[in-house]
Chains A and B, each alone.
Chain A
Amino acid sequence: MPLDPASAPVADRVRDLNERYRHHGATAVLERALSDAQVGNIALVSSFGAESVVLLHMISVMDRTTPVLFIDTQMLFEETLQYQLDVSEKLGLTDVRSIRPDPEKIRELDRFGALHLSDPDACCDLRKTQTLASALAPFDAWITGRKRFQGGQRAALEFFENEGDIRIKVNPLAHWAKDDVRDYMINNRLPRHPLVSQGYPSIGCKPCTSKVAEGEDERAGRWRGKDKVECGIHFINGKPVRRVAEGTEGEATPQEETTMSVIVTDGGFAADDWNGELAAPEDTGAAAVLLPSDADPEVLRDRLDQLKLVAVDFPSFADGRGFTIARRLRLMGYTGRLRAKGHVIADQYAMARRVGFDEVEIDLDLATRQPEDQWLRRAEWKAHDYQSRLRA
């Protein structure tokens, strides 16, 4: 039940709480949050992501009946869904609630699951913000895992926040450093999210999460290539904030992206993680080239081992030369990354993989028209393949 309306306004309570807990550590804050009458009815909101297990473990020790809200946007990694089940069981959490977007609205606004490509803000709003907003209705407070070191808007994070005078947001880990998280997990032998070891330090929805290179910011893999840093569930003044107004807290104003594209691999859609230029084939110093479909792959013969990425252009899906070019490059001994770029349709994905391409790059329009599931249907390109029976 929500707190009695007669109790002090949210703003006052938040000020008071921050005052009282200023010099406390994370566990103390959390412990108090779970029991303090000033906080009220509380839930932990967890993504079961890379670092979520810390808070989950803390509440499992303090009170494993605490409600845990897990937002299943229905765009998550398989691994996350499995991890959620495994962790909940291992920690003995008794009230984990998977909350999902309203199917009616999904049908109406994102039938093909492609909204994230054309308008990630609208997608997050639909799948996370609105979903969470209705799930939080019965609570006076919620716990998040945000930390100051994550930077950006989070740099000035307090333990307790006033969320639009409606609800208190508790950030017990606000002052934790990266190492603290790691140490806690090691000391308590907590299971790690399986994707972390595969290069994802921050894990959100599958389409909007990509791997992060060494030295890159941890959250660089989220909404890569888009001017988006938060999903919008962190409300200000009771409204989801998707973009901070100009001049505040350093977040850039949104820019129109015109050349956005999507990389398709066996795992589905991801943003492009190749940051360099694609040079013309004549540019002999380049590490990455774009080969037109009428080029002779022989032009690359002498420097195949210097090349990190060769993209072959598909001006039209009906121009099948790229398939032969890819096969030729592989036969010539090229072992680097090979990309089919341009108008390649989902129905050609298996062909592309079979001739030696690693990935396909398509534009947003095509990705919207042929969403990820249509590509994933061809992801098992090794099955039903006559060639593999004949070539050995």
Chain B
Amino acid sequence: MYSYTEFDEAFVRERVAQFRAQVERRIDGSLTEDEFKPLRLMNGLYLQLHAYMLRVAVPYGTLNSRQMNQLAYIAETWDKGYGHFTTRQNIQYNWPLLKDVPDMLDALADVGMHAIQTSGNTIRNVTADHFAGAAADEIEDPRPYAELLRQWSTDHPEFQFLPRKFKIAVTGAPNDRAVVKAHDIGLEIVKNDAGETGFRVLVGGGLGRTPMIGKVIRDFLPKDDLLPYCEAIVSVYNLLGRRDNKYKARIKITVHENGLDEFKAQVEDRFALLRGQFGGADQQLLAEIKAQFARPDLPARDLSGFTTAYDNDPVFRAWVDTNVAEHAVDGYALLTISLKAHGETPGDATAEQMREMAALAAEYSSDELRISHEQNVILPHVAKSDLPAIHARLQQHGLATANIGLISDIIACPGMDYCALATARSIPVAQQIATRFDELKMEHDIGPLKIKISGCINACGHHHVGHIGILGLDRAGVENYQITLGGDGTEDAAIGTRTGPGFAYDQIVPAIETLVETYLDERESPDETFLDTYKRVGMAPFKAALYPAEEKSRAA
């Protein structure tokens, strides 16, 4: 795992000192509210519905037990004892006081963490596959590149006042777990015909009010060219991106309006101008970073304990079947701890739960944890033989929910409960769906099904790429939920299609039930997932089930 160099440490401290002074200068009038706003945003401080919100980066989703313990400490000391893990590998504190924020930032710096560029019109926290460095299907660990990009984008003098926010994600595996196609820049590590590894570069993906799938701007970018190429893209965007209308300011619109060819031509021009700026210092740094990401020693372990528990304990078995993924090393597992206990707020963790997960990581997972964009926590290097003991510990802390990838593993944005922009509630909808299907005990039978909920068109909940997406809108003062089907956030990325008119708050859960029943009727076998069935049969049967009256009137 990467640990801060002296340079990083000094940088972050200086940045906290600057922010402390900015808060004081806001108070004494040196900075206007307008001027202070982007400065606080680029330090992670949002103004929400009820209070400030501090968004802390977990770069590429990786952290150690000391850092997780510190997140718990911060939650207890300056917040209400919990934190919220987000879809971009951040953790948010919803109740800090402005005056405490510099101290919180100092506490983060104590463990090599920060909140820099987690908000604002900057290059945001670079995200990566949460299984990086451990997944069986991986070509190369993407995190060293993400770290290199973090250093490059941090305080980049050209890019602190972009037309709009800018998000980059990297994956090193063909199975995309980082939703790279829905990012402003998506990077996929690929091999070319000559067997060299490099990047396939996508631009202009994004969700929000105009969802778009990223377009390939370079099929194969040599790895050494990563920084100058990304710089060329952002630099072209900085001049070309629209600043007259914030809804048209994202790079997806820039690419769309100018056309990929024109955009690409400008990027290649700029790249030629810039290439010479990077003469190898970046590659040297990369080599040092890579050394820090070496996979820990994972000695062979006896599997009998695991096998016995798996064969005899159905609860344990169900949990392993859903929450454990294949590790690159035999006898080891990638364990996902669900933060989606039925009826709880998706993504929330209490300080006590954070400490327990930290302790488990220290004991069983080479001191490593991951945060996934699906708002869960991962122990990436667990010996299978330790799983029974871990399961027992998790059960004691309400963390043993066996629902990863299932209908109750919902992504939901904060919505009306916290968010100033919300047009509808989203957390209560997630809670009710989870509770309902838990009562029906159908969840495991339904199988993989991703529901994603946003409380407004900004799409923080990724509803466009949910197999079932739910978007909460405000229709003349009444909450109204639109449903989309067939969205996909993986390598086969697709934007969901609307079913038709939306549903009222008290009709949305029954509507989801209807959709699920339709799927169960339509599927050819229990192995055919919801998404596969939808792709095979299309929208019609689902629509017919959702809007029976209309279908009838049309038939009549």
Query: Which A residues fall within an 8 A CB radius of B?
Result: 112, 296, 317-321, 323-325, 327-328, 331-332, 345-348, 350-352, 354-355, 369-371, 374, 377, 383-387, 389-392
Contact = CB atoms under 8 A, between A and B. Distances in A.
B239 A321 contact: yes
Nearest to A314: B161
B152 interface: yes
A318 B29 contact: no
A392 B238 contact: no
Interface residues of B, number: 43
Interface in B115-135: 121
Nearest to B32: A369
Nearest to A296: B239
27 contacts: A320-B121, A320-B159, A320-B161, A320-B162, A323-B159, A323-B161, A324-B235, A324-B239, A328-B273, A345-B31, A347-B39, A348-B161, A351-B160, A354-B157, A355-B157, A355-B158, A369-B30, A371-B30, A377-B21, A386-B152, A386-B156, A387-B157, A390-B278, A390-B282, A391-B277, A392-B279, A392-B280
B274 interface: yes
Contact of B11 (A328, A355, A377, A384): A384
A354 to B, nearest CB: 4
A331 B158 contact: no
Interface of B: 7, 10-11, 14-15, 18, 21-22, 25, 29-32, 34-35, 38-39, 121, 151-152, 154-162, 227, 235, 238-239, 243, 273-274, 277-282, 285
B90 to A, nearest CB: 20
Contacts of A112: 30
A157 B235 CA distance: 61
A390 B227 contact: yes
A369 B239 contact: no
A336 to B, nearest CB: 19
Nearest to B163: A320
A220 B161 CA distance: 38
A350 B121 CA distance: 18
Contacts of B277: 331, 391
A324 B270 CA distance: 11
A323 B156 CA distance: 10
A349 to B, nearest CB: 10
Contact of B285 (A320, A345, A352, A389): A389
Query: Which 5 residue pairs across A and B have the least CB separation, nearest first?
Result: A320-B161, A392-B281, A354-B157, A351-B157, A324-B238
B421 to A, nearest CB: 19
Contacts of B151: 386, 389-390
A317 B35 contact: yes
Contacts of B22: 347
A384 B39 contact: no
Contacts of B274: 331
A392 B273 CA distance: 15
B223 to A, nearest CB: 15
Contacts of B235: 324, 327-328
Contacts of B159: 320, 323
A346 B21 CA distance: 12
B164 to A, nearest CB: 11
A386 B155 contact: yes
A112 B35 CA distance: 19
- Looking at A347, A371, A392, the one whose CB has the most chain B CB atoms below 10 A away is A347
A389 B283 CA distance: 11
A321 to B, nearest CB: 6
A328 to B, nearest CB: 8
B146 to A, nearest CB: 15
A324 B11 CA distance: 23
B34 to A, nearest CB: 8
A12 to B, nearest CB: 54
B86 to A, nearest CB: 25
A52 B39 CA distance: 46
Contacts, number: 104
A392 B276 CA distance: 9
Contacts of A389: 7, 151, 281, 285
A374 B156 CA distance: 21
A346 B18 CA distance: 11
A169 B15 CA distance: 53
Nearest to A355: B157
A370 B35 CA distance: 12
A63 B100 CA distance: 60
B30 to A, nearest CB: 5
Contacts of B281: 389-392
A316 B69 CA distance: 42
Contacts of B35: 317, 345, 347
Contact of B152 (A328, A345, A390, A392): A390
Given A317-B35, A386-B11, A324 B152 contact: no
Contacts of A323: 157-161, 238
A369 B32 CA distance: 9
A352 B161 CA distance: 12
Contacts of B21: 377
Given A323-B159, A324-B238, A386-B152, 19 more contacts: A318-B34, A318-B38, A318-B161, A319-B243, A320-B160, A323-B158, A327-B158, A347-B18, A355-B157, A369-B32, A370-B31, A374-B25, A374-B30, A384-B155, A386-B11, A389-B281, A389-B285, A390-B152, A391-B281
Given A320-B158, A320-B160, A327-B158, A390 B238 contact: no
Contacts of A348: 160-161
A339 to B, nearest CB: 16
A296 to B, nearest CB: 8
A350 to B, nearest CB: 7
Nearest to B241: A321
Given A391-B282, A392-B281, A384 B10 contact: yes
A135 to B, nearest CB: 31
Contacts of A319: 161, 243
B29 A331 contact: no
A321 B163 CA distance: 9
A321 B234 CA distance: 11
Contacts of A371: 30
A28 B239 CA distance: 70
A392 B278 CA distance: 6
Contacts of B39: 347
B238 A320 contact: yes
- Looking at B39, B161, B274, the one whose CB has the most chain A CB atoms below 10 A away is B161
B122 to A, nearest CB: 9
A361 B160 CA distance: 20
B127 to A, nearest CB: 19
Nearest to A331: B273
A276 B192 CA distance: 57
Contact of B161 (A317, A325, A390, A392): A317
Nearest to A388: B281
A331 B273 CA distance: 7
Contacts of A370: 25, 30-31
Nearest to A385: B155
A377 B17 CA distance: 11
A387 B158 CA distance: 11
Nearest to A381: B157
- Looking at B227, B239, B273, B278, the one whose CB has the most chain A CB atoms below 10 A away is B239
